[in-house]
Amino acid sequence: MENSKKIAILGSTGSIGTQALDVIRANPNSFEVEVLTGNGNADLLIRQAIEFNPNTVVIADQNKYHYVKDELNKHDIKVFTGKKAIADVVQMENIDMVLTAIVGYAGLESTISAINAGKQIALANKETLVVAGDLVTSLAKEKGINIYPVDSEHSAIFQCLAGEFHNPIEKIYLTASGGPFRGKKKDFLSTVKKEQALKHPNWEMGAKITIDSASLMNKGLEVIEAKWLFGLKPEQIDVIVHPQSIVHSLVQFTDGSMKAQMGLPDMKLPIQYAMGYPNRIKSDFPRFNFLNYPQLTFEQADTETFRNLALAFEAMNKGGNAACVLNAANEIAVQAFLNDKIGFLQMSDLIEKCLQKIAFISKPSYNDYVETDTETRRVARELL
């Protein structure tokens, strides 16, 4: 198709990836799938590839390479394996946009590789900007690349700024649902199990982001991401808890006027907005009805109980490699909690100890970030 955008979806078997494919399925004239990559879910990746017929597929898990290759052989789809292959395929000439939906630090290398190759980025991997925001945003600027945010909160800010890019921002407010433990205190949280933490009231997400949402680390990571995406100072960013998840975020301008973007909690909308920008593509997503939500409420975030949010603000204020340490320690902490190795509140303890122990680097290079990440994970595992 002549004018359709050719998309590479990194992490096509995850929550964001599968919803992005729903958007593409509904808009076959607007988008075409060029590349699909998955981590270990070989069967789903194969089914996606057979349906969407991309040029290339990458399975990160090398043990599943031959299985995927054999299944896709007759469909004339190229198959590669390994993490390096993901960073290589994003440079393919006929890709217009790369949707980065790989969870965690693992998404950094391929995002940098795609920017270097001049590809527009639809960013669903917040950790990329948390870990190396300075590096990634400078590189994007140098290459003339736009980074379109996919997170619902950052998409909301981006939508509020459409037509306002020349107007300075006074402040932004990222909204948080408060997660499944909103209003709970430490004595309750000290005994919660992963099954409780995995039940999110408003959003359907993967395990890592759901736990992050319960601990408010997700909001902390989003605060740091927002700083880089919109070129803000830490004091220009605030978090407000909004349990209904209808107002996705707000921008306050220097004249005191505020803009908010609203809608039902559905990730397909921000995914579609990022992939279709600057055009809004007609959709049959369910419509918001005010009468179903007669009250929208807002409250302050409890950073004393949910210390991860406070730790994220600290890391952002400190700068350098501090947020890289925060992210790596959090990834280990979440995994340990999901494996029943530590309790819910101990995740914050582990992250705080890592922030104290790892050497601070004020102006890190790419290699510094890689070393900081490796070192933090080693220390975090020892502390466990």
Domain-ending residue, one of 145, 166, 201: 145
Q: Flag whether 294 is in a domain.
A: yes
Asked if 141 and 156 sit in the same domain, the reply is no
State the pLDDT confidence band at 1, using cuts at 50, 70 and 90: low
Q: Give dist(CA 29, CA 307) in Å, integer.
A: 46
Q: CATH number of the domain at 26, please.
A: 3.40.50.720
Q: Give dist(CA 342, CA 266) in Å, integer.
A: 32
Number of alpha helices (DSSP H) and beta strands (DSSP E) in the chain: 16, 12
Q: Is 78 helix (H, G, I), strand (E, B) or coil?
A: strand
Q: Give dist(CA 371, CA 24) in Å, integer.
A: 38
Q: Tell me the mean pLDDT in the region 12-39.
A: 97
Q: Identify the pLDDT of residue 192.
A: 96
Q: Among 365, 371, 384, which Cα is nearest to 325's? A: 371
> For residue 236, what is the DSSP state?
G
- What's the pLDDT tens digit per position in 265-288? 999 999 999 999 999 999 999 999
Asked if 217 and 294 sit in the same domain, the reply is yes
Asked if 210 and 250 sit in the same domain, the reply is yes
| Count of CB atoms situated within 10 Å of the CB of 5 | 17
Domain count of the chain?
A: 3
Q: Flag whether 52 is in a domain.
A: yes
Asked if 260 and 366 sit in the same domain, the reply is no
Asked if 347 and 380 sit in the same domain, the reply is yes
- What's the pLDDT tens digit per position in 122-179? 999 999 999 999 999 999 999 999 999 999 999 999 999 999 999 999 999 999 999 9
Asked if 360 and 230 sit in the same domain, the reply is no
Q: CATH number of the domain at 374, please.
A: 1.10.1740.10
Q: Identify the pLDDT of residue 205.
A: 85
Asked if 46 and 116 sit in the same domain, the reply is yes
Q: Identify the pLDDT of residue 3.
A: 85
Residue 152 near residue 270, CB atoms below 8 Å: yes
Q: Identify the pLDDT of residue 206.
A: 86
Asked if 56 and 195 sit in the same domain, the reply is no
State the pLDDT confidence band at 203, using cuts at 50, 70 and 90: confident
Mean pLDDT, the chain, whole residue set: 97
Q: Tell me the mean pLDDT in the region 83-111.
A: 96
Q: Flag whether 352 is in a domain.
A: yes
Q: Flag whether 326 is in a domain.
A: yes
Domain-ending residue, one of 145, 173, 194: 145
Domain-ending residue, one of 145, 164, 194: 145
Q: Tell me the mean pLDDT in the region 6-15.
A: 97
Asked if 172 and 244 sit in the same domain, the reply is yes
Q: Tell me the mean pLDDT in the region 2-29.
A: 96
Residue 305 near residue 57, CB atoms below 8 Å: no
Q: Flag whether 196 is in a domain.
A: yes
Q: Flag whether 285 is in a domain.
A: no
Q: Tell me the mean pLDDT in the region 296-314.
A: 98
State the pLDDT confidence band at 204, using cuts at 50, 70 and 90: confident
* Tokens, residue 182: 């909103």
Question: Which pTM does this prediction carry?
Answer: 0.95
Q: Flag whether 354 is in a domain.
A: yes
Residue 130's domain comprises: 5-145
- What's the pLDDT tens digit per position in 323-337? 999 999 999 999 999
Asked if 242 and 350 sit in the same domain, the reply is no
Q: Flag whether 258 is in a domain.
A: yes
In the predicted model, is pLDDT for residue 202 greater than 90?
no
- What's the pLDDT tens digit per position in 52-79? 999 999 999 999 999 999 999 999 999 9
